[in-house]
Amino acid sequence: MLEGHGYKLIVAQEPELSKTGLYNIYARRKLRERSPTDKVISPTKPRWYSENALIKELRHYLKEKLPEYAIASAFVVLSTLPLTANGKVDRNALPRPKADIQHRLVPPRTQTEEIIAGIWSEVLGIEQVSIYDNFFDLGGHSLLATQVTTRLRDRAGIELPLRDLFAQHTLASLAQTIEKMRLALEQLQSAPAKELGDREEFEL
């Protein structure tokens, strides 16, 4: 049908996606020059796939391939792509992305969570942060992550490796990691004093 309307249909399958829920057949449509009115071509999304399911599967796939900070903070699913007169994607006409994470706001419960939430609010320029929020989903990136670790060190004396911020998916899990670090440090600092108390003193 497309061939009869002046389109050349090229179908390609991505082998890497065959093991995931993203597997699909992609068609690249190329217009044969017929008339000026036939120059607008728009690929469409699969109608049988809900947007939420698609975004969820896409995030799952990307997390297996990329570090957390390299994954986009928001995804927009479009039925059609806006094109310029030359047939290229019109980036200026693309809709503004919105955060696709929906959950109820759960305020900080512990002092550590309050410290992290306050720093995230300052660095990201947002008013409220939930303990189930993800730093990168809120718009964070590697440069802002460095600011977070610096402020944690200056204000709370917490030496948090940057990789831990990348690895933890929520504020709550990051707070748990910090609490474990503090506990391990306290045990390490108290160990010499305990050993000294068990020693006997001798006159020289």
* pLDDT at residue number 40: 41
Q: Number of C-alpha atoms within 13 angstroms, CB side, residue 53?
A: 9
CA count, 13 A, side-chain hemisphere, 148 = 28
Q: Are strands 7-12 and 26-31 parallel, antiparallel or unpaired?
A: antiparallel
Q: CATH homologous superfamily of domain 111-197?
A: ACP-like (1.10.1200.10)
In whole angstroms, give the CA distance from residue 68 to residue 165. Answer: 9
pLDDT beyond 90 at 31: no
The reported pLDDT for the residue numbered 50 is 66
Which residue is it, tokens 């969820």? 56
Q: What letter represents residue 144's amino acid?
A: L
Backbone φ and ψ for 12, nearest 5 degrees, come out as -130, 145
How far is the C-alpha of 38 from the C-alpha of 31, rounded, in Å?
8
Q: Which long-range contacts (CB under 8 A, 24 or more apart) does 181-189 make?
A: 182/158
pLDDT band with cut points at 50, 70 and 90 for residue 116: very high
The pLDDT mean for the chain works out to 72
pTM, whole model, 2 decimals?
0.50
CB-based burial of residue 120 (10 Å sphere; 0-12 exposed, 13-18 middle, 19+ buried)? buried
Residue 105 has pLDDT above 70, yes or no: yes
Looking at residue 39, its pLDDT comes to 42
The CATH code that applies to domain 3-93 is 3.30.300
**Does residue 35 register a pLDDT over 50?**
no
What is the pLDDT averaged over residues 161-173?
Answer: 85
Task: State the DSSP H helix or E strand holding residue 19, giving kind and residue range, or none if neither.
Answer: none
| Residue 87 CB coordination number (10 Å) | 11
Residue 173: φ, ψ to 5°: -70, -35
Element (H, E) at 27: strand 26-31
What does the domain layout of the chain look like in residue ranges?
A: 3-93, 111-197
